[in-house]
């Protein structure tokens, strides 16, 4: 599970295709996404994409990996002092109130709903989730070790509870489109940290 992210293994073309896929997905949504739309964003032919990614499914699985890499790079950039501040930074990124994320979160929820029908997509979604839980678990475990979180906290369980919050908030935001959902979930996560994790 300490499987590292594969940032840097992409060629320049693959990076550009990922950015094009990202933009096309946000614009068209998962169900209406076509190779043609991605090629238009990429500014080249669909054949140029097929050279790197055989099917639309391959592209979307690769995109999920790309999004995880971006997330990991983003949180590595955040300079923080202790486990509490690092947990805060992770939660800020996982439950961001940026309403311009709505299109992306819609597309991700479509992919999640697709997971039971698509093994490659499910495997990548499960991998992403495991990696996010690994990041949360490590921060919580460091906090327990340093005495800022209570000694009886189970880091794995705490990470899973926090991801349940994150996923609930995202699902609810997709359906309602109401950014208050994210703000309130972020507050509830803080409340959970204060009540269930913080050392007295």
Q: Which stretch binds a copy of itself (CB under 8 A): 1-9, 58-66, 72-80, 115-123?
A: 115-123
Contacts to a copy of itself from residues 149-168, by CB under 8 A: 157, 160-161, 163-168
Distance in angstroms (rounded) separating the CA atoms of residues 105 and 102: 5
* 198 beta partners: 149
Only one residue has tokens 């309130």, namely 184
The nearest distance, CB 196 to a copy of itself, in angstroms, is 6
- 2: its two tokens: 């300490």
Sign of the Cα torsion 168, 120, 116, 16 reads positive
| Distance of closest approach, residue 187 Cβ to a copy of itself, in angstroms | 8
User: Cβ of residue 164: shortest distance to a copy of itself, in angstroms?
Assistant: 4
Q: Which is nearer to a copy of itself, 49 or 60 (CB)?
A: 60
Distance CA 36, CA 38 (A): 5
Which of 171, 190, 198, 200: binder of a copy of itself (CB under 8 A)? 171
* Other beta carbons within 10 Å of 51: 12
| Contacts with a copy of itself, residue ranges (CB under 8 A) | 29-31, 102, 106, 109-110, 112-113, 115-117, 122, 125-126, 129, 157, 160-161, 163-172, 174-177, 181, 184-185, 188, 191-192, 195-196
């Amino acid at each position: 599970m300490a499987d590292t992210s594969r940032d840097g293994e992409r060629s320049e073309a693959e990076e550009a295709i990922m950015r094009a896929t990202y933009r096309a997905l946000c614009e068209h949504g998962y169900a209406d996404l076509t190779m043609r739309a991605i090629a238009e964003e990429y500014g080249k032919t669909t054949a140029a994409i097929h050279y790197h990614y055989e099917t639309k499914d391959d592209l979307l699985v690769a995109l999920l990996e790309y999004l995880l890499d971006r997330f990991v790079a983003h949180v590595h950039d955040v300079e923080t002092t202790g486990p509490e501040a690092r947990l805060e930074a992770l939660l800020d990124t996982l439950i961001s109130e940026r309403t311009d994320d709505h299109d992306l979160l819609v597309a991700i929820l479509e992919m999640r709903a697709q997971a039971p029908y698509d093994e490659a997509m499910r495997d990548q979604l499960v991998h992403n989730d495991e990696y996010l839980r690994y990041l949360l678990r490590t921060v919580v475990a460091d906090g327990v070790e340093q005495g800022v979180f209570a000694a009886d906290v189970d880091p794995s369980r705490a990470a899973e509870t926090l991801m349940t919050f994150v996923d609930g908030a995202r699902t609810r935001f997709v359906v309602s489109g109401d950014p208050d959902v994210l703000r309130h979930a972020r507050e509830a996560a803080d409340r959970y940290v204060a009540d269930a994790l913080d050392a007295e």
